[in-house]
């Protein structure tokens, strides 16, 4: 996971082009076939690593190791039984490695190639264009667990805190919390938080203990700088946060006071430029009774996660009187 985290960071900083479609960004690509005599896993990793490096594929060795290990039935190359490193592969295994490696040459992310990815100890199914969970988001989950575990909660029929996730994607956050907190079920509610009155559909679930989200937060002008793996395969709607990356964030903050309990919390993953922007936006909206109480850095030392808390009684409003979220007016 640590190696793949480096790969994802390379994706986010790599060049890209806007408007590409899945698998078509490199239509001039020509297939590479293994040379005769490459019969074992170690040789194939070296072979495909060299090809990936020549073609400019990020994290070339990690990519080839994951693909070879997957075909041999393991999560990682290091977890293979040592005997498999030098054991001859079958023609079928060689063909599978060839086909999967060809997908990588077309800049398909390894997560989609393997069809699964681990997150917080869970194996999640992956397919385009579902947003691929990043290692940073595991840190968001860990922070939520740290904060939720010591708190007293009004235990309902499900035996645990009421948590709302906005923007579920692969379900990584919700499933991880479900797996580690005393709940026994999860509800999926299709809902567009940008629509007027959307909050009303959630009122029947009762006041929430917390809201958690990894919303679209990429600044619109930064979208074209994303790597081909992202632009060609992942859903841009899960990434593009508008002019200053705040469009969905401000909708969440505007909705939260109507859904949270007194002293309820919001946990967000954001761009490192957002803590200051969010803090300024909250100061401009004292009516929301929301306060930025903590900022936490990710494993690269960047301010990545926000803890926002509501103070004061829950705001109530008849459904017909709800004015909808305020426009995303961001300081600066």
Burial of 106 (0-12, 13-18, 19+ CB in 10 A): buried
Residues 6+ apart with CB under 8 A from 59: 3, 4, 6, 7, 10
Query: What's the full length of the chain, in residues?
Result: 332
Whether the upstream peptide bond of residue 129 has omega within 30° of 0, thus cis, is: yes
- Residue 297: enclosing H or E segment and its boundaries? strand 290-297
What superfamily would CATH give domain 129-321? Vaccinia Virus protein VP39 (3.40.50.150)
Place of tokens 């035996």: 159
List the structure tokens of 166: 């906005």
Instruction: Give the C-alpha distances (Å, rounded to integers) separating 192 from 250, 287, 303.
Output: 14, 23, 27
pTM for this model (two decimals): 0.81
Contact 218, 241 (CB under 8 A): yes
Distance between CA 86 and CA 39 in Å, rounded?
Answer: 8
As separate numbers, helices (DSSP H) first and strands (DSSP E) second, the chain gives: 11, 7
Q: In tens digits, what is the pLDDT along the chain, a chain of 332 residues?
A: 333 333 333 333 333 322 333 333 333 445 555 555 668 999 999 999 999 999 999 999 999 999 999 999 999 999 999 989 989 999 999 999 999 999 999 999 999 999 999 999 999 999 999 999 999 999 999 999 999 876 655 444 456 788 999 999 999 999 999 999 876 667 767 778 778 777 787 877 778 899 999 999 999 999 999 999 999 999 999 999 999 999 999 999 999 998 899 999 999 999 999 999 999 999 999 999 999 999 999 999 999 999 999 986 655 543 333 333 333 344 44
**Joined tokens for residue 149:** 């575990």
Q: Give the pLDDT confidence score for residue 246 in this predicted structure.
A: 98
The 3-state DSSP class for residue 98 equals: helix
Q: Which residues of 161-178 are buried (b: 16+ CB within 10 A; e: fewer)?
A: bbbbbbbbbbbbbbbbbb
Those residues whose C-beta lies under 8 Å from the C-beta of residue 57, and which sit 6 or more positions away, are: 63, 104, 105, 107
Crossing angle of the two packed helices 60-71 and 41-54, in degrees rounded to 10? 140
Contacts for 95 with CB less than 8 Å, ≥ 6 apart: none
What tokens were used for 198?
């959307």
Cβ–Cβ < 8 Å for 269, 137: yes
Specify the pLDDT at position 148.
86
Phi, psi of 292 (to 5 degrees): -75, 110
Tell me the two tokens of residue 310.
Answer: 């509501």
Query: Six-digit token pair at 86?
Result: 């030098």
Would you list the domain boundaries of the chain? Answer: 2-116, 129-321
């Amino acid at each position: 996971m640590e190696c793949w985290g480096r790969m994802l960071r390379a994706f986010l900083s790599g060049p890209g082009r806007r408007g590409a479609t899945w698998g078509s960004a490199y239509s001039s690509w020509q297939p590479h076939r293994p040379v005769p005599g490459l019969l074992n896993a170690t040789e194939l990793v070296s072979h495909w690593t060299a090809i990936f490096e020549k073609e400019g594929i990020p994290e070339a060795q990690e990519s080839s190791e994951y693909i070879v290990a997957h075909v041999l039935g393991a999560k990682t190359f290091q977890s293979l039984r040592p005997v498999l490193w030098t054991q001859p592969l079958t023609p079928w295994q060689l063909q599978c490695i060839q086909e999967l490696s060809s997908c990588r040459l077309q800049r398909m992310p390894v997560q989609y190639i393997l069809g699964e990815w681990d997150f917080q100890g869970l194996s999640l199914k992956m397919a385009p264009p579902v947003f691929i969970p990043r290692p940073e988001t595991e840190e968001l989950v860990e922070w939520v667990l740290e904060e939720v575990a010591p708190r007293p909660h009004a235990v309902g029929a499900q035996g645990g805190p009421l948590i709302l996730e906005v923007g579920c994607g692969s379900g990584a956050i919700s499933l991880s919390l479900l797996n580690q907190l005393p709940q026994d079920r999860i509800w999926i509610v299709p809902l567009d938080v940008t629509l007027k009155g959307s909050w009303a559909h959630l009122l029947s679930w009762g006041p929430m203990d917390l809201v958690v989200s990894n919303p679209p937060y990429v600044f619109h002008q930064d979208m074209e700088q994303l790597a081909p793996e992202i632009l060609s395969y992942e859903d841009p709607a899960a990434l593009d946060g508008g002019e200053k990356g705040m469009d969905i964030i401000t909708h969440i903050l505007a909705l939260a006071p109507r859904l949270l309990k007194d002293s309820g919390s919001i946990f967000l993953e954001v761009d490192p430029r957002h803590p200051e922007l969010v803090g300024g936006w909250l100061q401009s909206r004292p009516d929301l009774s929301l306060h930025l109480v903590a900022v936490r850095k990710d494993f690269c030392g960047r301010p990545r996660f926000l803890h926002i808390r509501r103070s004061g009684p829950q705001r109530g409003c008849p459904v017909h009187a709800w004015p909808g979220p305020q426009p995303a007016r961001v300081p600066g």
